[in-house]
Amino acid sequence: MTVSAPRKPQVLLDALAATIVGQRPSLEALLSSLIAGGHVLLEGPPGLAKTLACRALASAVGGSFKRIQFTPDLLPSDIVGTRIFDQRAGEFTTVLGPIFANIVLADEVNRAPAKVQSALLEGMQERQVTIGPQTFPLPDPFVVTATMNPLDSEGTYALPLAQMDRFLVKILVDYPSSDEEGRILDRFGGETPALPADVVSIDDILRWRHEARTVHVEPRLKRYVVDLVGATRVKHDYVDRGASPRATLAIVALARARALVAGRDFALPDDVRAVAPAVLRHRLAFNYRTLTDKVDPETIVAGIIAAVPTP
């Protein structure tokens, strides 16, 4: 049985793919995270359409979009908002910060100090913000897409593992192929193309979320996910600490979302295998030997996943 919905997730994926050249796995992961209700960490060099992808997503869902450029002098109030004294009214009024949007792009999140990072991450976790005596709920859906540049580590504040864990997925954005780069030139070399507007609505997203929660996951598949995450905790030459049960929940939520995007109401081992690297890569603590032996962490994650028999 296929899932019937007035506007299906595939429509949104196609609209994004019509704007962004290539990057199909990143767009799929972005959409799955939106449906699963999680936040996304995008890592890749500058100029790979990370911001454009987030902007296109916000425009396509008809939601509000805010971009915050993280810098070392940023303050928590620059993100969550502040209270100012209105002299005319003779009272304090609250000015909400840019975190109050459906899709928030936290650009170069590792360039701001820990206090600012934690202000954002607290909002991500609690989905509400407290300014002075008042608590304000964040809009629904609320998705933070944070970017990190892996090339310039100078003057950055690395996110601790506990905070990285708040991101549902970490997506690696890579350079396009030469064919894709040619198409980028054709599409963006002249007039800037318009972003897809109101392809789906916020209500559609909320309905997909509900439908995703009803996607069936066979007990054998759940066991597979538990085994997969458990395999990261087995003594390993290059891994000091494995993933938490939050990763287990994240894999199942994303596998359900991926199944929904594919038009299924049941998840397959393929869904689990497809989402597992993005869920696990930022949750494992790799030891110094990965550096000294020059081993790619992606290879380690892939090796751990490949070693677990599928159901």
Q: Which is nearer to another protein, 2 or 178 (CB)?
A: 2
Q: Which is nearer to another protein, 51 or 310 (CB)?
A: 310
Q: Output the smallest distance, CB 230 to another protein, in A.
A: 15
Q: Output the smallest distance, CB 129 to another protein, in A.
A: 32
Whose CA is closest to 232, among 291, 276, 288, 179? 276
Place of tokens 């380690």: 300
Q: Output the smallest distance, CB 112 to another protein, in A.
A: 17
How is residue 50 written in tokens?
A: 């990370």
Q: Which residues bind another protein (CB under 8 A)?
A: 1, 153-154, 216, 218, 221, 265-270, 273-274, 288-289, 292, 306-310
Q: State the Cα angle at 132 between 128 and 138, rounded to 5°.
A: 15
Q: Which is nearer to another protein, 174 or 270 (CB)?
A: 270
Place of tokens 């699963």: 36
Q: Which is nearer to another protein, 103 or 274 (CB)?
A: 274
**Distance from C-alpha of 15 to C-alpha of 11, rounded to nearest angstrom:** 6
Q: Output the smallest distance, CB 275 to another protein, in A.
A: 12
How is residue 38 written in tokens?
A: 């999680």
What is the distance between the terminal CA atoms of the chain, rounded to a whole angstrom? 22
How is residue 161 written in tokens?
A: 């593992």
- Return the bridge partners of 171, or none: 42
**Distance from C-alpha of 105 to C-alpha of 143, rounded to nearest angstrom:** 9
- Return the bridge partners of 158, or none: none
Place of tokens 């070399």: 189
Q: Output the smallest distance, CB 302 to another protein, in A.
A: 11
Residue 37 — φ and ψ, nearest 5°?
75, 30
> Beta 103-107 vs 143-148: how paired, if at all?
parallel
Helix then strand then coil, % of the chain, to nearest 5: 45, 15, 40
Q: Which is nearer to another protein, 86 or 218 (CB)?
A: 218
DSSP 165: T
**Distance from C-alpha of 311 to C-alpha of 187, rounded to nearest angstrom:** 43
Q: Output the smallest distance, CB 265 to another protein, in A.
A: 7
CB-based contacts of 303, cutoff 8 Å, min separation 6 = none
Q: Which is nearer to another protein, 139 or 269 (CB)?
A: 269
Q: Output the smallest distance, CB 244 to another protein, in A.
A: 23
Q: Output the smallest distance, CB 287 to another protein, in A.
A: 8
> Beta 169-172 vs 81-86: how paired, if at all?
unpaired
Q: Which is nearer to another protein, 278 or 308 (CB)?
A: 308
